[in-house]
Every structure is written in C-alpha cells, then in structure tokens.
C-alpha cells in the first residue's frame, strides 16, 4: 500500500509501526514528524487487557497488516539457559559470563568473581546489563583452585542457576525493571507440588544460598545494610517459576542458546495457530521484535506459540499443561483431525485385526482422558491403549533419532510404523524429515547413487510434508527452517531426476529446472522469517549457491 508522506505530502511507502496509519517517504521525515506532532497522536494498534482464564494478553484494536512490526524491546535480563541437560552441565566448554561465547573451563576468568570468561578483558564483564548484574554477588563465593578435583568445578560453576541470580540481582541495579520481572506469571502455587519445584529447590535455590547468598546476608547483618531486599527461598522459587513460564530461548549465531525475559514479549498469549512471530537481533543487545505473521483483524487476540507446531495435539497440550500450567483450547486443539492433517491419527485395526482402512481419532481432543473412535467403523480404543502405543512408538523414534542410525534403520522404522500410524502422523513426519536429508548425503546414498524409485520417494515425502506445512503454517513464519530444508531437498531430487531423463525434450528440461528454481526461491523467501540461527545461516548459503547453479543451467542468470 502507498499513501502520502505525513511530513511533506509526496507519495510514501514507509509506515509508522505504532499506529499503522501514517506513511513517510523516508526515515528522516518520520523522525521529524514524530518530534513535531506524531508522538502525541500515535496510538498502537492493540491494547493490553486481562481475563481470568488467560491473564494479561493483547487484543488488536484495528486491523493489523501482515509483516507489521508490533513492537521491539530490550530484554529485562538475559543469561545462560536455566534448564540444562546433564551433559551440558558437565561440559568443560562453557559460555563466557561476559558475552556467552564458548570458552574452556579453567582458562580465563573475571578478575573479580573468578567465573569463566573468553578473555580477561571481555567487554561484557564490565557491562552493567550483562555480567555487571551478578558479579558483585558471585564475589562472595569460594571458587575451586587449579588442580582441585574436576567435580568441584562442575559443582561450583552451575550455569543453570546463574539466570535466577541475575534476575534476583536486577533489584540492585534497577528497581523498576525488577518490579516488572517479579510481576510476571510464576504459577507459584500450582508449581509448588510439581517435580520442577523439588528440582529447583536443590539445583538452584540451595546452591545459590550455600555458595553466595548466605555469605552475602551474613555481611549484610554485620554491616546493618541490606543490598538485596527481596532475597528468600520463596522469591527464588518465584523467579524459577517466572523463568519456566516466560523465558524465551535466544539462538546465538555461534549455535549456543541462551534465555531472556522481555517485558511485553512475555505477555503474549499462546495459540497453536499463532498470528505473530518474533526474531532477536543479537548485534543489538538481544533486542526482540514481534511482527504480525498474517493480517490480524480488529478484536483478535495477538498470539504466539509456546510449543512445537509439528507435535500432535496430545503432546502439545501435555507440554503446555506441565510447563505452562494451562489447558489449550485453541481451534487446532479442538479439531480431532487438526484441520484435516491427521497429524495424530492412528490406523484403525478394525474388528479382529481386520483393518477397515479408517483412522482412530480422539472423541473429545480437549479431554485429557478421552477415548478414541474410528472415522470409518464402530471400533473404539481407550485412552490407556493410545497412551501405551504412543509411548512405545515415541521411545523407538527417540532411539533412532538420537544415535547415528543408518538409512536402513530409518527406512525400516518408517515401514513398521506405517502399519500403526496415519502416513501424516507427526512421528512419521519426524523420521521422514531426517530421511529426505540422508537420501543424497549419506555414503552409499549420494544423489547419483540413488535409484529412480528412491528419488521419487524422496520427492513424494517432500511434497507430503509441504502439504501439511501449508495447512499448519500457511504464511510460513513458524516452521521456516523445517520448510526450507524440505524445499532445498526437493530441488536436489528434481535436478537429479531430470539429469537422468535423457529422453526429455528441451521444454521438459526447462519445466524441471523452473520447478527446482521455484522451490529455491520459496525457500529463500521463507528463510527471511528465521531468527538468524547458525543453522539458518548455513542453510541460506546452501540455498543461494544452489540458486546460482540452477540459474546458470537454465540460462536465467
Ligand atoms: C508467558 S505467560 C503470558 C502472560 C500471562 N498471561 C500474564 O498475565 O502474565 C504464560 C501464561 O499465560 C497464560 N496463558 C497464555 N496463553 C494461554 C491460553 N491460550 N489459554 C490459557 N492461558 C494462557 C497461562 O497462565 C500461561 O502460563
């Protein structure tokens, strides 16, 4: 859309991200108009509201166009991930406390608190928004010395407790920001009886008191001065809950992930079919930007997703219930077929193991203990039977995915699971997504070594997955990495198949190349919505180089 510049009146395309109403011909005129007038009249296209069921959430007050920037903001706090797997906790390569780049445990340290740094003069060490936040408290600890038992290092440098300490220490630097943080949802009461609470109690709360907070409070008592006004076990548990419910994962360009809390970003409501998405700018202090992923109508809630879009309904709802303490009732969760994708459907075994060709679907997908019924015959199965089958299948899939399994192992498992699951079932999709990348890359399975039949299978699987994505993420802002991988593989199979078909006429060759070209162009467009992860950057390089090749072949360069 184009209108006239709100400052000088010439045709303009740049739109005010706040109100979506006023256009500018250049950023300078936008700045001048803001100072002179617009800051008094600009109103955001959404408002913050509250309900008993959802808590705080945003509602659009006017139509918001796709790609509109909803807001950009700096984090309240960022730090190492607070839920680390055992192997991550026992890694000798750790994130620098100043800048989070990888550094070997035991090489360089912050000179004040003796926590590992990438170099002694890392700029983040003195930055009050980064290490400056917690350094003063960490100084109360007694770090192990070179030559001490390596176990003492893992016990002392607990990276998964650092973010809780950073949150706590925010009250020293900025009381207003701490106030915003501590008022985020923690689900303290619901969480109190969960295993997460018990785990946090030892792993984080006791650890922080034992090593740093007890000595600090002892000094506070001695000097009659309080530095940390809110500093008891309940506050630390509340912060643990706040992180569990709200923390956003920030993928760094070095492949490491950290966590952050954001004042507005953490207020967005969940939906399994969200209408907005976000990116981080790692060069600007991990600034978060939320954008409209599609047109949002007046009155619609502005939503994001807290879970995995390609998990089936039961798994997504269980994850949301256990980690975010609510039961999702969105339109996707309410539809047993998940908009016709059959992503969770099981094959009906019929009566006396005579499959009827139909599929088992939950009778009431919003009831945790719902039984399932066939969409073709009268057979029903119980919730327990479904659970048993799914946990067995889940274990087999995890096993094959978690080790270096061969192409044959993937093919065999897919073949076996097709007897029990709908071809679109999410477990099969996970396996197929890996297999399409193995076909063409694994030794003995390079593209030129694949039979025509396998190449066609690869293409068929790509097509099947893209059809599902088109339903579950029609505007491609949620599954951008996943979809781009498929499109790149689709292009590779197309090029290889057509290389082999000597009998093709010149116009058929052109069609094949143009189909491959379209896949790549689409992949490149989709990847623009990606967060700038290492994986995304590498994929973009591959897509761009493939684009060059195809363009050269088709003479469109
Ligand atoms: C990241 S917070 C969002 C902000 C929160 N509503 C608040 O007032 O602070 C996540 C929490 O919001 C609530 N929530 C978010 N999406 C919801 C939904 N679709 N249905 C019910 N509750 C939801 C849940 O309590 C969830 O644990």
For the segment 155-180, what is each residue's pLDDT rounded down to a tens digit?
A: 999 999 999 999 999 999 999 999 99
Of all protein residues, the one whose alpha carbon is nearest to atom 15 of ligand 1 is 269
Of all protein residues, the one whose alpha carbon is nearest to atom 4 of ligand 1 is 267
Q: Which atom of ligand 1 is nearest to the CA of 185?
A: 9
Does the beta carbon of 88 lie inside 6 Å of ligand 1?
no
Tokens 């106030």 belong to residue: 179
Residues 450 and 521 in one domain: yes
Does the beta carbon of 266 lie inside 6 Å of ligand 1?
yes
Does the beta carbon of 207 lie inside 6 Å of ligand 1?
no
**Vertex 464 angle, CA 461 and 465, to 5°:** 90
Does the beta carbon of 248 lie inside 6 Å of ligand 1?
no
Respond yes or no on whether ipTM tops 0.85: yes
Counting the structural domains of the chain, the total is 4
- Give the CA count within 13 Å in the CB-facing half-sphere of 530: 25
**Quick check: 416 pLDDT over 90?**
yes
Structural domain includes residue 84: yes
Give residue 70 CA to ligand 1 midpoint distance, Å: 19
Distance in angstroms (rounded) separating the CA atoms of residues 216 and 229 = 12
Distance in angstroms (rounded) separating the CA atoms of residues 547 and 455 = 20
pLDDT at 557: 54
Residues 82 and 194 in one domain: yes
Of all protein residues, the one whose alpha carbon is nearest to atom 13 of ligand 1 is 54
Residues with Cβ within 8 Å of residue 212, at least 6 apart in sequence: 137, 138, 140, 141, 165
Question: How far is CA 231 from each of CA 86, 190, 205, rounded to the nearest angstrom?
Answer: 27, 21, 11
Average pLDDT over residues 298-321: 97
Task: Tell me the per-residue pLDDT of 84-95, one tens digit each, with 9 for 90 and over.
Answer: 887 888 889 999
Structural domain includes residue 288: no
Structural domain includes residue 34: yes
Please give the mean pLDDT across all residues of the chain: 93
Task: Tell me the per-residue pLDDT of 248-285, one tens digit each, with 9 for 90 and over.
Answer: 999 998 888 999 999 999 999 999 999 999 999 988 88
pLDDT at 406: 97
Structural domain includes residue 547: yes
Residues 112 and 217 in one domain: yes
pLDDT at 95: 94
Residue 421 has which token pair? 């699951």
Q: Which atom of ligand 1 is nearest to the CA of 56?
A: 8
pTM of the full structure: 0.91
> 249: alpha, beta or left, given left = phi > 0 and alpha = psi -120 to 50?
beta
Does the beta carbon of 397 lie inside 6 Å of ligand 1?
no
DSSP states along 365-395: TTSTT--EEESSSS-EE-HHHHHHHHHHHHH
Stronger pLDDT, 355 or 295, i.e. the higher one:
295
Of 258, 274, 294, which residue sits at a domain end? 258
Give residue 328 CA to ligand 1 midpoint distance, Å: 10
| Confidence band for 485, pLDDT divided at 50, 70 and 90 | very high
Q: Which atom of ligand 1 is nearest to the CA of 325?
A: 27
Distance in angstroms (rounded) separating the CA atoms of residues 463 and 441 = 19
> Are the C-beta atoms of residues 494 and 452 closer than 8 Å to each other?
no
**Vertex 374 angle, CA 372 and 378, to 5°:** 105
Of all protein residues, the one whose alpha carbon is nearest to atom 22 of ligand 1 is 54
**Quick check: 123 pLDDT over 90?**
yes
pLDDT at 147: 86
Q: Is 419 exposed, middle or buried (0-12, 13-18, 19+ CB in 10 A)?
A: exposed
Name the DSSP letter for residue 213.
I
Does the beta carbon of 120 lie inside 6 Å of ligand 1?
no
Task: Tell me the per-residue pLDDT of 214-225, one tens digit each, with 9 for 90 and over.
Answer: 999 999 999 999
pLDDT at 108: 95
Instruction: Please report which helix (H) or strand (E) contains residue 277, including its range.
Output: strand 276-281
pLDDT at 511: 79
| Confidence band for 213, pLDDT divided at 50, 70 and 90 | very high
Q: Best of 326, 328, 329, 333 to mutate for ligand 1, by most ligand atoms within 8 A of CB? A: 326
Name the DSSP letter for residue 543.
H
Residues 133 and 37 in one domain: no
Q: Best of 49, 55, 240 to mutate for ligand 1, by most ligand atoms within 8 A of CB? A: 55
Residues 403 and 444 in one domain: no
pLDDT at 51: 98
Find residue 4's DSSP bridge partners: 11
Task: Tell me the per-residue pLDDT of 297-309, one tens digit each, with 9 for 90 and over.
Answer: 999 999 999 999 9
Q: Best of 180, 187, 270, 278 to mutate for ligand 1, by most ligand atoms within 8 A of CB? A: 270
Q: Which ranges in 127-276 belong to alpha helices (H)?
A: 132-138, 150-156, 159-173, 175-182, 188-192, 195-200, 207-208, 214-223, 233-246
pLDDT at 506: 60
Give residue 303 CA to ligand 1 midpoint distance, Å: 10
Residues 403 and 461 in one domain: no
Stronger pLDDT, 13 or 327, i.e. the higher one:
327
> Are the C-beta atoms of residues 5 and 24 closer than 8 Å to each other?
yes
Does the beta carbon of 316 lie inside 6 Å of ligand 1?
no
pLDDT at 503: 53
Distance in angstroms (rounded) separating the CA atoms of residues 147 and 362 = 59
From 405, 487, 494, 484, select the one nearest 447 (Cα to Cα). Answer: 494
Residues 395 and 447 in one domain: no
Residues 346 and 214 in one domain: no
pLDDT at 112: 97
Structural domain includes residue 269: no
Residues 405 and 443 in one domain: no
State the sign of the Cα–Cα–Cα–Cα dihedral 346, 351, 355, 359.
Answer: negative
Does the beta carbon of 366 lie inside 6 Å of ligand 1?
no
Helix (H, G, I), strand (E, B) or coil at 105: coil
pLDDT at 100: 94
Structural domain includes residue 145: yes
> Are the C-beta atoms of residues 345 and 333 closer than 8 Å to each other?
no
Structural domain includes residue 94: yes
Distance in angstroms (rounded) separating the CA atoms of residues 54 and 425 = 30
| Confidence band for 27, pLDDT divided at 50, 70 and 90 | very high
Give residue 231 CA to ligand 1 midpoint distance, Å: 26
Task: Tell me the per-residue pLDDT of 493-539, one tens digit each, with 9 for 90 and over.
Answer: 999 988 887 655 666 667 778 899 999 999 999 998 887 788 899 99
pLDDT at 284: 81
From 427, 468, 463, 467, select the one nearest 344 (Cα to Cα). Answer: 427
Residue 163 has which token pair? 């973010």
Residues 156 and 238 in one domain: yes
pLDDT at 253: 83
Structural domain includes residue 68: no
**Which residues form the domain of 142?**
77-258
pLDDT at 504: 57
Does the beta carbon of 184 lie inside 6 Å of ligand 1?
yes
Does the beta carbon of 52 lie inside 6 Å of ligand 1?
no
Residues 11 and 83 in one domain: no
Residues 391 and 507 in one domain: no
Average pLDDT over residues 77-102: 90
Does the beta carbon of 57 lie inside 6 Å of ligand 1?
yes
> 214: alpha, beta or left, given left = phi > 0 and alpha = psi -120 to 50?
alpha
């Amino acid at each position: 859309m184009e209108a006239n510049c709100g400052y000088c009146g010439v045709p303009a395309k740049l739109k005010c991200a706040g109100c979506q109403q006023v256009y500018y011909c250049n950023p300078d005129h936008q700045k001048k108009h803001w100072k002179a007038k617009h800051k008094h009249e600009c109103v955001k296209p959404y408002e913050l509201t509250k309900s008993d069921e959802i808590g705080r959430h945003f509602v659009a007050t006017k139509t918001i166009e796709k790609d509109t920037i909803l807001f950009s903001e700096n984090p309240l706090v960022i730090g190492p991930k607070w839920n680390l797997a055992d192997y991550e906790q026992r890694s000798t390569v750790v994130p620098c406390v100043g800048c989070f780049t990888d550094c070997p445990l035991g090489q360089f340290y912050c000179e004040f608190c003796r926590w590992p740094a990438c170099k002694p003069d890392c700029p983040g060490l003195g930055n009050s928004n980064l290490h400056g936040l917690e350094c003063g408290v960490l100084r109360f600890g007694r770090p192990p010395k070179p030559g001490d038992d390596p176990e003492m290092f893992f016990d002392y440098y607990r990276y998964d407790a650092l973010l809780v300490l950073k949150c706590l220490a925010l009250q020293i630097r900025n009381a207003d920001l701490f106030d915003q943080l501590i008022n985020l949802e923690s689900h303290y009461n619901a969480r109190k009886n969960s295993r997460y609470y018990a785990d946090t109690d030892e792993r984080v709360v006791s650890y922080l008191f034992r090593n740093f907070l007890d000595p600090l409070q002892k000094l506070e008592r001695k000097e009659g001065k309080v530095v940390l006004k809110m500093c008891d076990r309940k506050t630390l548990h509340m912060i643990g809950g706040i992180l569990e419910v709200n923390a956003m994962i920030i993928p760094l360009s070095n492949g490491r992930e950290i966590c952050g809390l954001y004042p507005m970003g953490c207020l967005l409501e969940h939906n399994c079919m969200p209408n907005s998405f976000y990116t981080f700018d790692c060069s600007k202090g991990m600034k978060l930007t939320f954008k409209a992923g599609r047109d949002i109508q007046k009155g619609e809630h502005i939503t994001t997703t807290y879970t995995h879009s390609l998990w089936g309904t039961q798994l997504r709802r269980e994850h949301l219930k256990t980690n975010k303490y609510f039961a999702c009732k969105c339109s996707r969760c309410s539809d047993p077929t998940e908009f016709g994708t059959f992503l969770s459907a099981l094959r009906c075994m019929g009566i006396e193991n005579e499959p009827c060709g139909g599929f088992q679907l939950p009778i009431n997908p919003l009831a945790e203990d719902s039984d399932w019924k066939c969409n073709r015959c009268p057979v029903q199965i119980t919730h327990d039977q479904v659970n048993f089958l799914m946990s067995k299948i889940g274990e087999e899939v995890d096993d094959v995915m978690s080790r270096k399994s061969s192409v044959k192992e993937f093919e065999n498992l897919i073949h076996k699971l097709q007897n029990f699951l709908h071809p679109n079932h999410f477990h099969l999709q996970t396996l197929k997504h890996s297999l399409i990348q193995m076909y063409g890359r694994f030794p003995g399975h390079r593209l030129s070594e694949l039979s025509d039949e396998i190449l066609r299978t690869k293409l068929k699987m790509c097509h099947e997955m893209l059809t599902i994505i088109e339903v579950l993420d029609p505007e491609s802002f949620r599954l951008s990495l996943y979809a781009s991988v498929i499109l790149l593989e689709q292009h590779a199979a197309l090029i290889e198949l057509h290389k082999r078909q000597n009998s093709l006429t010149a116009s058929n060759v052109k069609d094949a190349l143009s189909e491959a070209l379209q896949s790549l162009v689409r992949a490149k467009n989709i990847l623009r919505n990606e967060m700038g992860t290492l994986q995304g950057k590498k994929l973009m390089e591959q897509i761009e180089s493939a684009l060059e090749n195809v363009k050269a072949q088709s003479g469109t360069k």
